[in-house]
């Protein structure tokens, strides 16, 4: 605010735009991606064949790497890095002023850190584990026994890093809860920031709706995790893998 | 009922001095508030150990909760000391200076930043001089005026800044009080002539984008000013201004 | 050559209006205040501000406003300035409106007006329940706009100490003290406008803010400025006594049916709710069957004092009586008095719907103040719109406006006229100061460095003396004592014996105020030092008030001495011989006493003379008669 300051830096010059972009990215595409990701994962309920089919659809998208980089990795990196910068500005005081909204403020930042850590674990776990030779290459997942389904449940159940399944469940449950909270509370702060809701009443209504969404997503996600983590790999039939390939109409040559 | 009034005061001789706690006891009388206690103590500046000490320094003026001078932290809550009745407080009563402003001495802090913020956001209605132009302000509906009145009672006491987790003395965030004043002046028919200027200030570093939506301001405000609504409205106004800047200019 | 700044002391409505006018004329302003100007006492005024807009179909007229103001002040104010005040009010209000004041609106979006204190027409503009605060903030914002342009330099947390006078006695600047670093500095100024507000802290606890000491007015009085009508202090009948201040309980409580009573038995210590009806003394209802509890302010104040001080019936032997609303339904009270009751709950912690309130008259407003001149426009009979004579004190180059001057309100002030006079006089004084600087031969020239330095050194020396003083008096306790004395002897009802006694006591207090020992001898934010100086100045003012009161042997407005009361013969009206005799007595009394008390400072105490009042607009032909 000091007018006597020298010419502002590029970051300062675009301060407002950066913050608004940060706020937007949290919803689109990151939030949407989260919903989509959980949606896809939840097909695990329907059995290996559905799961493999849906994941396969995504997996077989053309220019997948570009899509991932442009619409997931970069937005996530931007949101995460600027988010940490923003979170570092906070001087938490929820112990002194224990209002619910103040707790939400603090939790929004705490869950941000947790989510970042979880995403790192999650990525290492399924995306880059082969770098360390502890799991198969994600790119070849559909060749794994049981296809994507088999690959996914193996991540939970193979005692990776010497961790038993229940630990992985807990890690994923915490990560999921953090991400869901951050997203749903983020919907509220997004709406305030952009001026979509203004008054106390509308903010309360929105908070309730976002809370309901959060509970739904959490339950939904936990059940998915539990399903994936506890299914017996032996029950997966080759059938399910077949089912997947059968649905791939325009599969590139050699993909099966 | 207590026979005496027991007060613990966080003291500091000057901006760079070390702070320390000092306790005081005085005879109980009904009807005291925190300022009248401090008044008694400056007349009888003896601490609980019986040592004569320098009278406690603090700021107060109207004693009716309209001037904003005597804001301090009373038993952990920032509020106007004149309206903090001893009979309604748990003893020992703990008085601390606001922490988000530089300490002048004892309970007195320097809130100049609040007035600088009002200057930065042009918190005034532009008029062509104070001479009578034989015209009133343009019409304002009673409903809108009632809302404006809520904001125009802001007495720059600083409680909202004290509880704001985004506001601190060495950071840039302008704080909720000034945002409320932007809301107020943007909504005036002629005050709105500066709307774009004000919004551009709020779009700089330290402006509205630095609000973290903790919403503590609205809960602590001794005047119940709907600060978060102001922030929501300014969110919308800056969104529109941003899009205008991007696509209309 | 850069224009020499004009100094404005005080940042309430008067000071800020003066500042605006001066900078609009192109002169920079150095604005001094004890605290950020936004916190000034003007913010405490609740009721409203009078201006004839005549929007309620009541044929209200500026003339009626003039008459109400003159009569309200019992004719003891020069009438040309009153004419200007009332004529200027609508324009002033329009300007406030343009500044964005949140005046309450009618359904069609224009400013609303309401009825206020003893006036028949709806003439009072208001902004919620904090009109003074709203007006103050509007001018504060306008001043900030000029501050942004570099035209106003604020010296907040600075205490005015003295004027710098040249050999001819003209004001050429001032000295002030930084209340943090305690540094004393001299500031050259083309002219100085004093807008330092009321002096009610000379009464210890009052309805005023804790910085309304009157010390700057006292200081310039001691440097030669004349003081006028000091004896006229308005007391509000229903104050809520507190340890820190006396808060106002609105007149509306009596209006809506509140009953004032005391226990019949002196020293009754029972809870008020346990005192049966027949053991309560509803003295106003008994003594004034026609009006009951709604007798005018001054009568209510006097009778409360009578029942407490003469009959010894104050609650628990203290200066307190009950103002009782508990017989009225809660719903009714909440709708009619909501905000007021809330204030009581906040500051007293009791519910006035459940328990009677304890009240006592409180010092509220000083009609008297620094004597200021005006230039009469013979053509209009009003004050000339711009003249260096307007609001000029007796020290050339020193102007005074707001409550610290004596103009407009005579012997008593009309409700909702104080915000008006503060703003209007600030505007006039600002214009006058500019006119003075433009026309003054010495204009723009500073005195030599050494002239400022010598005054600075003198003031610094006073500080050193006070800090070094090793007496046995506590400056805060002295103020306490002064206040107790004033509230006992120079209060609502006065007697010459009591006033003589008060003068003796004040002389002793004055002596003692030089024999103090500060508990804080430091040089950083030493509030005790600033206070010690202010207490010395307050005692000087207290002496002026007591002396003025002692000399005026009559009853007029707020000044009441029982032995000189002229009573309207009961049941007699114009044409009755008794009434005519009363009227003749009243006129004779006016011949003797319808004069300003003018006080000049001397080493032997206040020197008093009398000066005729300009009654060229409405001659005092008829006594006030509210029957």
Q: Is B109 on the interface with C (CB under 8 A)?
A: no
Q: Using one digit for the tens of pLDDT, what is the confidence trace for B126-162? A: 999 999 999 999 999 999 999 999 999 999 999 999 9
CA-based nearest residue to B202, from B130, B146, B125, B120: B120
Q: For residue C444, name the pLDDT band (cuts at 50, 70, 90).
A: low
The pLDDT value recorded for residue C374 is 98
Percent of chain A with pLDDT over 70: 86
How far apart are alpha carbons C221 and C371 in whole angstroms? 10
Alpha helices by DSSP H, B94-187: 112-120, 142-152, 159-163, 176-186
Chain A residue with CA closest to B237: the answer is A195
The pLDDT value recorded for residue A239 is 53
Give SS3 for C30: strand
- Other beta carbons within 10 Å of C401: 36
Q: How many helices (H) and strands (E) does chain C have?
A: 15, 21
Stretch C389-418: mean pLDDT = 96
Pick from B210, B219, B232: CB nearest A195 = B232
B102 class by beta-carbon count within 10 Å (0-12 exposed, 13-18 middle, 19+ buried)? middle
CA-based nearest residue to A248, from A54, A63, A42: A54
For the record, the structure tokens of C432 come out as 């006058």
Interchain proximity B119–C111, CB inside 8 Å: no
Any chains having at least 3 CB pairs less than 8 A from chain C are B
CA-based nearest residue to A22, from A85, A69, A65: A85
Residue with tokens 């008029």: B127
How far apart are alpha carbons A141 and C622 in whole angstroms? 108
Q: What is the DSSP string of C104-165?
A: -B-TTSSBPEE--TT-SS--EE--TT-HHHHHHHHHHHHHHHHHHTTSEEEEETEEEEEEEE
Chain C residue with CA closest to B130: the answer is C95
Name the minimum distance, in Å, from the CA of C98 to any CA of chain B. 4
Q: For residue A229, name the pLDDT band (cuts at 50, 70, 90).
A: confident
Chain B hits for C525, Cβ within 8 Å: 14, 57, 104-105, 108
- A242, pLDDT greater than 50: no
Q: For residue A249, name the pLDDT band (cuts at 50, 70, 90).
A: very low
The pLDDT value recorded for residue A251 is 39
Q: For residue C603, name the pLDDT band (cuts at 50, 70, 90).
A: very high
- Other beta carbons within 10 Å of C198: 27
Give the Å distances, CA to CA, from A214 to A80, A217, B68, B184, C281: 21, 5, 41, 35, 67
Q: What is the DSSP string of A2-29?
A: -TTS-SPPHHHHTHHHHHHHHHHHIIII
Contacts of B161 (CB under 8 A, 6+ apart): B98, B100, B101, B114, B167, B175, B176, B177, B217
The pLDDT value recorded for residue A196 is 97
Stretch C523-536: mean pLDDT = 98
Percent of chain A with pLDDT over 90: 55
The pLDDT value recorded for residue C51 is 97
Stretch C137-160: mean pLDDT = 98
Higher pLDDT, C337 or B28: B28
Chain C residue with CA closest to B105: the answer is C525
The pLDDT value recorded for residue C294 is 86
Higher pLDDT, C419 or C572: C419
The pLDDT value recorded for residue B2 is 55
Torsion of CA A127, A131, A136, A142, to 10 degrees: 50
Chain B residue with CA closest to C348: the answer is B31
Are C403 and C208 in contact by the 8 Å Cβ rule? The answer is no
DSSP state of A196: S
The phi and psi torsions of B215 (rounded to 5 degrees) equal 65, 20
Q: For residue A255, name the pLDDT band (cuts at 50, 70, 90).
A: very low
- C455, pLDDT greater than 80: yes
Bridge partner residues of C228 (DSSP): C369, C598
Pick from C98, C144, C474: CB nearest B43 = C474
Q: Is B185 on the interface with C (CB under 8 A)?
A: yes
How far apart are alpha carbons C492 and C302 in whole angstroms? 6
CA-based nearest residue to B50, from B24, B29, B28: B24
CA-based nearest residue to C528, from B70, B49, B29, B52: B52
In total, how many domains does chain C have? 1
Pick from C127, C145, C427: CB nearest B149 = C127
- Considering only A132-136, A158-162, A239-243, B8-12, which range has the smallest mean pLDDT? A239-243
The residues of C carrying an active-site annotation are 297
The pLDDT value recorded for residue C442 is 67
Bridge partner residues of C155 (DSSP): C32
Chain C residue with CA closest to B157: the answer is C39
Stretch C384-409: mean pLDDT = 97
Q: For residue C445, name the pLDDT band (cuts at 50, 70, 90).
A: low
For chain B, the straight-line distance linking the first and the last C-alpha, in angstroms and rounded, comes to 69
Chain A hits for B123, Cβ within 8 Å: none
The CATH number linked to C311 is 3.90.700.10
The pLDDT value recorded for residue C335 is 86
- Considering only A114-118, A201-205, A241-245, C159-163, which range has the smallest mean pLDDT? A241-245
- Considering only C116-120, C457-461, C500-504, which range has the smallest mean pLDDT? C116-120
The pLDDT value recorded for residue B171 is 85
Mean pLDDT of chain B: 96
Chain C hits for B45, Cβ within 8 Å: 519
Interchain proximity C145–B122, CB inside 8 Å: yes
Does C323 fall in a domain?
A: yes
The pLDDT value recorded for residue A254 is 45
Chain C hits for B84, Cβ within 8 Å: none
Does C271 fall in a domain?
A: yes
The pLDDT value recorded for residue A246 is 38
| CATH number for the segment(s) B112-247 | 1.10.1060.10
Return the domain boundaries, chain A: 13-247
Q: Using one digit for the tens of pLDDT, what is the confidence trace for B210-244? A: 999 999 999 999 999 999 999 999 999 999 999 99
Stretch C308-312: mean pLDDT = 95
Any chains having at least 3 CB pairs less than 8 A from chain B are A, C
How far apart are alpha carbons A208 and A202 in whole angstroms? 10
How far apart are alpha carbons A65 and C460 in whole angstroms? 78
Chain B hits for A105, Cβ within 8 Å: 165, 212-215
Any chains having at least 3 CB pairs less than 8 A from chain A are B
Interchain proximity A91–B120, CB inside 8 Å: no
The pLDDT value recorded for residue C255 is 85
Stretch B58-84: mean pLDDT = 97
Q: Is B198 on the interface with C (CB under 8 A)?
A: no
**Does the domain spanning A13-247 belong to CATH 1.20.1300.10?**
yes
Interchain proximity A193–B213, CB inside 8 Å: yes
How far apart are alpha carbons A34 and A180 in whole angstroms? 8
The pLDDT value recorded for residue A238 is 54
- Considering only A122-131, A189-198, C186-195, C611-620, which range has the smallest mean pLDDT? A122-131
Chain B hits for A12, Cβ within 8 Å: 204-205
Interchain proximity A20–B163, CB inside 8 Å: no
Q: For residue A247, name the pLDDT band (cuts at 50, 70, 90).
A: very low
Domain that holds residue C246: 237-361
Interchain proximity B213–A93, CB inside 8 Å: no
Q: Is the dihedral of CA A83, B241, B178, C34 positive or negative?
A: positive
User: How large is the angle between the packed helices C13-24 and C131-148, nearest 10 degrees?
Assistant: 30
Give SS3 for C589: helix
Interchain proximity A102–B209, CB inside 8 Å: no
Give the Å distances, CA to CA, from C222 to B122, C177, C215, C217: 41, 18, 10, 9
How far apart are alpha carbons C136 and C122 in whole angstroms? 23
Mean pLDDT of chain C: 95
Query: What count of CB pairs under 8 Å joins A to B?
Result: 112
Q: Is the dihedral of CA B5, B10, B11, B14 positive or negative?
A: negative
Contacts of B2 (CB under 8 A, 6+ apart): B28, B91
Interchain proximity B125–C141, CB inside 8 Å: yes
Stretch A102-109: mean pLDDT = 98
**Does the domain spanning B4-109 belong to CATH 3.10.20.30?**
yes
Chain B residue with CA closest to A200: the answer is B229
Q: For residue B173, name the pLDDT band (cuts at 50, 70, 90).
A: very high
Q: Is B62 on the interface with C (CB under 8 A)?
A: yes
Q: For residue A155, name the pLDDT band (cuts at 50, 70, 90).
A: confident
Instruction: Give me the sheet containing C607-612, strands edge to edge.
Output: C369-370, C227-228, C595-600, C607-612
- A135, pLDDT greater than 80: no
Residue with tokens 């805060």: C476
How far apart are alpha carbons C457 and A233 in whole angstroms? 95
Q: What is the DSSP string of C52-98?
A: ----SSS---HHHHHHHHHHHTTT-S-HHHHHHHHHHHHHHHHHHHH
* Kind of pairing between the strands at B103-105 and B108-109: antiparallel
Pick from A16, A97, A200: CB nearest B209 = A16
The phi and psi torsions of C363 (rounded to 5 degrees) equal -65, 130
The pLDDT value recorded for residue A256 is 39
The pLDDT value recorded for residue A243 is 46
Interchain proximity A90–B165, CB inside 8 Å: yes
Name the minimum distance, in Å, from the CA of A131 to any CA of chain B. 39
């Amino acid at each position: 605010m000091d007018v006597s300051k020298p010419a502002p830096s590029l970051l300062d010059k675009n301060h407002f735009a950066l913050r608004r972009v940060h706020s937007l990215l949290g919803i689109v595409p990151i939030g949407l991606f989260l919903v989509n990701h959980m949606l896809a994962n939840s097909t695990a309920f329907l059995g290996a064949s559905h799961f493999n089919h849906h994941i396969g659809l995504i997996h077989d998208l053309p220019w997948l790497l570009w899509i991932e980089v442009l619409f997931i990795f970069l937005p996530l990196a931007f949101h995460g890095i600027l988010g940490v910068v923003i979170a570092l500005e906070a001087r938490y005081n929820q112990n002194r002023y224990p209002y619910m909204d103040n707790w939400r403020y603090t939790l929004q930042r705490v869950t941000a850190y947790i989510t970042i850590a979880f995403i790192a674990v999650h990525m290492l776990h399924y995306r880059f584990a082969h770098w360390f030779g502890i799991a198969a290459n994600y790119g070849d997942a559909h060749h794994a026994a049981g296809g994507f389904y088999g690959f996914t449940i193996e991540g939970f159940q193979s005692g990776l890093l010497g961790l038993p399944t229940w630990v992985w469940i807990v890690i994923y449950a915490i990560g999921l809860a953090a991400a869901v909270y951050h997203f749903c509370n983020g919907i509220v702060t997004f709406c305030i920031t952009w001026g979509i809701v203004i008054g106390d009443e509308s903010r309360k209504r929105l908070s309730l709706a976002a809370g309901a969404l959060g509970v739904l997503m959490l339950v939904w996600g936990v059940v998915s995790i539990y399903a994936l983590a506890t299914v017996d790999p032996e029950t997966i039939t080759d059938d399910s893998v077949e089912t997947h390939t059968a649905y791939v109409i325009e599969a590139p040559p050699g993909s099966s | 009922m207590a026979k005496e009034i027991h007060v613990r005061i966080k003291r500091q001789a000057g901006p760079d001095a070390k702070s320390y706690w000092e306790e005081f006891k005085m005879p109980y009388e009904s009807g005291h508030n925190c300022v009248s206690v401090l008044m008694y103590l400056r007349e009888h500046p003896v601490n609980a150990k019986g040592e004569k000490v320098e009278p406690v320094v603090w700021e107060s003026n109207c004693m009716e909760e309209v001037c904003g001078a005597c804001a301090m932290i009373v038993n952990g809550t920032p509020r106007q000391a004149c309206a903090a009745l001893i009979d309604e407080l748990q003893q020992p009563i703990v008085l601390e200076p606001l922490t988000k402003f530089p300490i002048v001495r004892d309970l007195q802090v320097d809130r100049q930043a609040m007035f600088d913020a009002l200057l930065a956001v042009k918190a005034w209605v532009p008029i062509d001089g104070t001479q009578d132009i034989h015209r009133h302000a343009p019409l304002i509906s009673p409903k809108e005026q009632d809302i404006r009145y809520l904001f125009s009672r802001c007495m720059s006491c600083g409680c909202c800044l004290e509880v704001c987790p985004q506001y601190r003395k060495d950071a840039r965030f302008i704080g909720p009080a000034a945002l409320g004043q932007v809301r107020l002046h943007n909504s005036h028919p002629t005050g709105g002539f500066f709307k774009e200027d004000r919004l551009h200030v709020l779009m700089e570093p330290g402006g509205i984008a630095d609000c973290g939506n903790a919403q503590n301001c609205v809960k602590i405000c001794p005047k119940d000013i709907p600060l978060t609504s102001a922030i929501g409205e300014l969110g919308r106004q800056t969104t529109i201004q941003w899009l205008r800047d991007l696509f209309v200019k | 050559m850069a224009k020499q700044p004009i100094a404005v002391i005080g940042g309430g409505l008067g000071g800020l209006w003066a500042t605006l006018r001066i900078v609009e004329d192109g002169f920079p302003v150095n604005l001094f205040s004890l605290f950020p100007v936004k916190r000034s006492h003007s913010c405490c005024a609740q009721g409203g501000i009078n201006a004839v807009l005549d929007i309620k179909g009541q044929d209200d007229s500026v003339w009626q406003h003039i008459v109400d103001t003159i009569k309200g002040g019992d004719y003891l104010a020069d009438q040309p300035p009153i004419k200007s005040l009332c004529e200027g009010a609508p324009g002033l209000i329009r300007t406030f409106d343009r500044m964005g004041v949140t005046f309450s609106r009618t359904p069609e979006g224009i400013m609303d007006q309401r009825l206020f204190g003893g006036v028949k027409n709806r003439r009072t503009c208001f902004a919620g329940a904090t009109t003074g605060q709203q007006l103050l903030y509007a001018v504060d914002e306008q001043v900030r706009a000029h501050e942004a342009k570099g035209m106003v330099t604020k010296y907040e947390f600075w205490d005015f100490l003295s004027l710098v006078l040249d050999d001819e006695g003209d004001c050429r600047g001032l000295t002030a003290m930084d209340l943090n670093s305690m540094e004393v500095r001299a500031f050259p100024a083309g002219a100085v406008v004093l807008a330092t507000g009321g002096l009610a802290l000379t009464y210890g606890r009052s309805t005023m803010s804790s910085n309304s000491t009157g010390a700057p007015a006292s200081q310039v009085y001691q440097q030669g400025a004349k003081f006028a009508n000091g004896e006229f202090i308005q007391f509000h009948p229903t104050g809520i006594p507190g340890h820190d201040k006396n808060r106002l309980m609105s007149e509306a409580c009596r209006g809506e049916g509140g009953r004032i009573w005391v226990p019949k038995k002196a020293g009754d210590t029972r809870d008020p709710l346990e005192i049966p009806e027949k053991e309560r003394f509803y003295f106003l209802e008994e003594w004034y069957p026609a009006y009951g509890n709604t007798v005018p302010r001054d009568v209510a104040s006097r009778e409360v004092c009578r029942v407490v001080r003469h009959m010894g019936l104050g609650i628990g032997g203290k200066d307190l009586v009950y103002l009782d609303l508990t017989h009225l339904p809660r719903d009714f009270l909440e709708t009619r008095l909501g905000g007021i009751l809330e204030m009581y709950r906040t500051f007293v912690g009791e519910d006035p719907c459940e328990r009677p309130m304890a009240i006592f008259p409180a010092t509220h407003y000083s009609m008297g103040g620094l004597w200021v001149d005006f230039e009469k426009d013979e053509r209009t009979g009003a004050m000339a719109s711009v003249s260096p004579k307007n609001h000029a004190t007796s020290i050339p180059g020193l102007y005074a406006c707001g409550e610290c001057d004596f103009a407009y309100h005579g012997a008593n002030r009309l409700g909702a006229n104080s915000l008006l006079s503060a703003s209007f006089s600030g505007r006039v004084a600002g214009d006058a100061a500019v006119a003075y600087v433009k026309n003054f031969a010495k204009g723009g020239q500073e005195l030599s460095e050494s002239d400022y330095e010598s005054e600075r050194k003198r003031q610094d020396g006073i500080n050193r003396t006070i800090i070094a003083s090793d007496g046995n008096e506590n400056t805060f306790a002295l103020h306490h004592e002064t206040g107790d004395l004033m509230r006992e002897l120079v209060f609502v009802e006065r007697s010459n014996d009591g006033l003589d006694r008060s003068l003796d006591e004040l002389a002793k207090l004055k002596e003692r105020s030089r024999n103090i020992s500060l508990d804080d001898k430091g040089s950083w934010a030493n509030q005790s030092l600033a206070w010690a100086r202010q207490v010395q100045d307050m005692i000087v003012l207290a002496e002026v008030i007591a002396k003025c009161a002692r000399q005026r042997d009559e009853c007029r407005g707020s000044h009441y001495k029982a032995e000189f009361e002229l009573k309207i013969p009961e049941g007699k009206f114009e044409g009755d011989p008794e009434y005519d005799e009363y009227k003749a007595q009243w006129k004779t009394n006016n011949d003797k006493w319808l004069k300003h008390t003018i006080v000049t400072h001397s080493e032997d105490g206040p020197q008093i003379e009398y000066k005729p009042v300009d009654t060229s607009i409405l001659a005092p032909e008829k006594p006030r008669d509210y029957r």
